[in-house]
């Protein structure tokens, strides 16, 4: 890179694409049916072939697995089901050899109730660890207030030995840490520094906007001391390294995102915000209460984030993760146009400004799963939802419809490596069943096929490396009110691109393409001359150098 482009391109994490691994479902090496770290190591060449520069690893720490590892009982050791600390060190080294950095998942809002701190904390009120958690005095059966936990039931759990309740925003096995206590914060920072010394490339911070809770005032996210805590943590830890940091913040808006991702580096590199992911549900209700995607609103929302964070922050770009259904089933068409729509969604996303995240299997166009009944599901949130809604008198059919559309298990079925038994994920019995469509949809089929979804992702990753306009170009939404077309330009000093996509099953007029007919085609998901009409889910990116005037 010339000095000029280097300056425009900024830090490494603006120029990379991150791949998220959900370890339990990625690759099993010892045939116990659960993915593990040696399994990940065996697939690093696959990831290098895709072209990604970092892997975000969902939690592999010691955990009773009440919430699949998001309930940590020891931050400084690896759960035996995933391997050993030596395996983890080997993963970091082997990844580095392939220019891939490892991003650890930090769950700092809560621990497992089996964490040593909590075991101590509940022994007595004057135990030195008692104040590591959030307690309220009370009488049994009379909760401090009516706050609810995300996974169902009240957010308070009674401990008879202490005559106190502890606060938990997630399951009863995930007690919230007390960030008001400086000792808690110091323990956390020391732990982060320890991982930094091991050579990790960054951190993803689980539900970080919920750490500064004030339960007496009903405050869970965006508490008054939130940014103070984050800045202190960043100063004490992240700023001592050259890391990528991404906070998960369901309560983020464009204003606080500018704080989280302030270019002065005082907080994180970026945040995961979910505004676009909460649009296909009934307003004011839960994600299970389905509604069609309001397409124009969704475009406007994405455009708003692009516009607002331009030069004042940095976006993370994602449509999939381990908590979300598969995007091709959600916003695309997972039947007739599976390939076309998966590529279209990738093209629209990867053309934007920000750091793209690919969730395992997304690069194959993996789809949602439809298990026959609730007994096949494993996710605590899904199981609790089923129980609650059945008790409330919903029809089973209706509950299952929500689960088919939104259950987190849609994303958690094993990675589809090949057409072999269990998709090549394990020779044992997988902890959750494989999606039966692995026979057609799998990595082996796709890797060498230039027309596959995999090849489309590989090309998109490559384009970001070749054309700086993907990194610094200014975003502008076009055809804003159009009900079928998602079109935008990215413009920098000397280049511009047009990203144009048909989001529907019907052909769509796109006169813009006429104006760009002499431009270079960087990527196109149909093997045809691009006219002014786009076929179902057709998408392309055009490039032209700017003539200086
Ligand atoms: C985050 C994680 C999710 C987990 C929750 C509680 O949202 O992504 O998987 O259940 O936090 O830790």
Per-residue pLDDT for 5 more than 70? no
Count other Cβ atoms within 10 Å, centred on residue 231.
Answer: 15
pLDDT of amino acid 531: 87
Per-residue pLDDT for 500 more than 90? yes
376: which residues sit within 8 A by CB, 6+ positions away? 432, 433
Per-residue pLDDT for 421 more than 80? yes
Catalytic residue among 71, 87, 206, 381: 206
Say whether 114 is catalytic. Answer: no
- Most informative mutation of 177, 207, 248, 381 for ligand 1 (most atoms within 8 A of CB): 207
Q: What is the average per-residue pLDDT within 279-286?
A: 96
For residue range 208-253, what is the model confidence (pLDDT) as tens digits? 999 999 999 999 999 999 999 999 999 999 999 999 999 999 999 9
Indicate the DSSP class of residue 372: S
What lines the ligand 1 site, CB under 6 Å?
67, 70, 107, 170, 206-207, 248, 322-323
Cα distances from 327 to residues 179, 277, 321, 361, 363, in angstroms, run: 35, 10, 9, 11, 11
Q: Nearest residue CA, atom 6 of ligand 1?
A: 70
As a whole number, the mean pLDDT across the chain is: 97
Taking the mean position of all CA atoms in its chain, how far away is CA 168? 22
Say whether 87 is catalytic. Answer: no
Q: Judging by DSSP bridges, how do beta strands 316-317 and 355-359 pair with one another?
A: parallel
pLDDT of amino acid 546: 82
Indicate the DSSP class of residue 378: -
Percent of the chain with pLDDT over 70: 98
Write out the DSSP string of 412-449: TSPP---SSGGGGS-SS--SSPPPGGGGTS-HHHHHT-
Total-model pTM: 0.97
Count other Cβ atoms within 10 Å, centred on residue 97.
Answer: 9
Q: What is the average per-residue pLDDT within 479-497?
A: 97
Taking the mean position of all CA atoms in its chain, how far away is CA 230? 20
Please answer whether residues 247 and 209 qualify as being in contact, where contact means their C-beta atoms are separated by less than 8 angstroms. Answer: yes
The rounded distance, in Å, linking the Cα atoms of 502 and 250 is 29
Q: For residue 406, what are its two tokens? A: 């939104």
pLDDT band at 530 (very low <50, low <70, confident <90, very high): confident
The rounded distance, in Å, linking the Cα atoms of 366 and 354 is 24
Catalytic residue among 248, 409, 482, 538: 248
Q: What is the average per-residue pLDDT within 131-149?
A: 95
The rounded distance, in Å, linking the Cα atoms of 51 and 447 is 13
For residue 254, the surrounding DSSP H or E stretch is helix 254-260
The rounded distance, in Å, linking the Cα atoms of 499 and 487 is 5
Closest ligand 1 atom to Cα of 151? 10
For residue 396, the CA-to-ligand 1 centroid distance in Å is 26
Angle between helices 453-466 and 338-350 (to 10 degrees): 20
Cα distances from 496 to residues 15, 75, 304, 311, 532, in angstroms, run: 18, 46, 20, 17, 19
Closest ligand 1 atom to Cα of 71? 12
The rounded distance, in Å, linking the Cα atoms of 442 and 419 is 7
Closest of 325, 279, 324 to residue 301, by C-alpha: 279
> What sign does the dihedral 44-50-56-59 (CA atoms) show?
negative
For residue 546, the CA-to-ligand 1 centroid distance in Å is 45
pLDDT band at 254 (very low <50, low <70, confident <90, very high): very high
Per-residue pLDDT for 548 more than 60? no
Q: What is the average per-residue pLDDT within 152-164?
A: 96
For residue range 297-343, what is the model confidence (pLDDT) as tens digits? 999 999 999 999 999 999 999 999 999 999 999 999 999 999 999 99
Q: Nearest residue CA, atom 9 of ligand 1?
A: 323
For residue range 178-212, what is the model confidence (pLDDT) as tens digits? 999 999 999 999 999 999 999 999 999 999 999 99
pLDDT band at 131 (very low <50, low <70, confident <90, very high): very high
Q: Catalogue all structural domains in the chain, each as residue range(s) with its CATH number.
A: 3-110+182-369+415-456 (3.20.20.80), 116-167 (3.90.400.10), 370-412 (no CATH), 473-545 (2.60.40.1180)
Q: For residue 246, what are its two tokens? A: 């991404």
- Most informative mutation of 21, 206, 378 for ligand 1 (most atoms within 8 A of CB): 206
pLDDT of amino acid 486: 98
The rounded distance, in Å, linking the Cα atoms of 361 and 410 is 11
Please answer whether residues 121 and 132 qualify as being in contact, where contact means their C-beta atoms are separated by less than 8 angstroms. Answer: yes
pLDDT of amino acid 2: 58
């Amino acid at each position: 890179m010339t000095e000029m482009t280097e300056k425009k391109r900024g830090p490494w994490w603006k120029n990379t694409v991150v791949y998220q691994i959900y370890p339990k479902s990625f690759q099993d090496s010892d045939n116990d049916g659960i993915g593990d770290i040696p399994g990940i190591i065996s697939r690093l060449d696959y990831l290098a072939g895709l072209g990604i520069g970092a892997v975000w690893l969902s939690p592999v720490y010691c955990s009773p697995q009440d919430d699949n590892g998001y309930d940590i009982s020891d931050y400084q050791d690896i759960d035996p089901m995933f391997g050993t600390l030596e395996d983890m060190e080997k993963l970091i080294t082997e990844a580095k050899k392939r220019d891939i950095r490892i991003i650890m998942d930090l769950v700092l809002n809560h621990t497992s109730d089996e964490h040593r701190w909590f075991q101590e904390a509940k022994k007595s009120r004057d135990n030195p660890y008692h104040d590591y958690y959030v307690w309220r005095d009370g009488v049994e059966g009379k909760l401090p207030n009516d706050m609810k936990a995300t996974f169902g039931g009240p957010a308070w759990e009674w401990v008879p030995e202490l005559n106190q309740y502890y606060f938990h925003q997630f399951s009863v096995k995930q007690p919230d840490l007390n960030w008001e206590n400086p000792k808690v914060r110091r323990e956390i920072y020391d732990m982060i520094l320890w991982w930094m010394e091991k050579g990790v490339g960054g951190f993803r911070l689980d539900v970080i906007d919920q750490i500064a809770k004030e339960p007496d005032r009903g405050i869970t996210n965006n508490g008054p001391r939130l940014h103070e805590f984050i800045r202190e943590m960043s100063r004490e830890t992240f700023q001592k390294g050259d890391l990528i940091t991404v906070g998960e913040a369901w309560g983020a808006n464009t204003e606080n995102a500018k704080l989280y991702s302030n270019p002065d580096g005082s907080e994180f590199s970026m945040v995961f915000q979910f505004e676009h992911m909460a649009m296909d549900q009934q307003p004011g209700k839960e994600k299970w209460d389905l509604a069609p995607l309001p397409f124009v609103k969704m475009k406007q929302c994405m455009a708003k984030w692009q516009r607002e964070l331009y030069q004042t922050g940095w976006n993370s770009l994602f449509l999939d993760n381990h908590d979300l259904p598969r995007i091709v089933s959600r916003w695309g068409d997972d039947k007739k146009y599976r390939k076309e729509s998966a590529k279209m969604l990738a093209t629209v996303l990867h053309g934007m400004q920000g750091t793209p995240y690919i969730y395992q299997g997304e690069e194959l166009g993996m789809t949602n799963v439809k298990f026959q009944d609730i007994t096949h599901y494993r996710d605590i949130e899904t199981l609790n939802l089923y129980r609650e809604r059945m008790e409330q008198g919903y029809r089973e059919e209706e509950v299952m419809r929500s689960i088919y559309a939104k259950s987190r298990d849609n994303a958690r079925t094993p990675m589809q490596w090949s057409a072999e038994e269990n998709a090549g994920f394990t020779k044992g019995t997988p902890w959750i069943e494989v999606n039966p469509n692995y026979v057609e949809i799998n990595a082996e089929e796709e890797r060498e096929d230039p027309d596959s979804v995999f090849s489309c992702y590989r090309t998109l990753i490559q384009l970001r490396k070749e054309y700086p306009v993907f990194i610094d170009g200014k975003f502008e939404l076009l055809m804003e009110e159009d009900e079928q077309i998602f079109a935008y330009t990215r413009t920098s000093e000397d280049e511009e691109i047009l990203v144009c996509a048909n989001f529907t099953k019907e052909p769509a007029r796109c006169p813009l393409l006429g104006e760009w007919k002499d431009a270079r085609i960087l990527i196109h998901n149909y093997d045809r001359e691009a006219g002014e009409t786009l076929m179902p889910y057709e998408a392309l990116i055009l490039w032209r150098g700017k003539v200086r005037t």
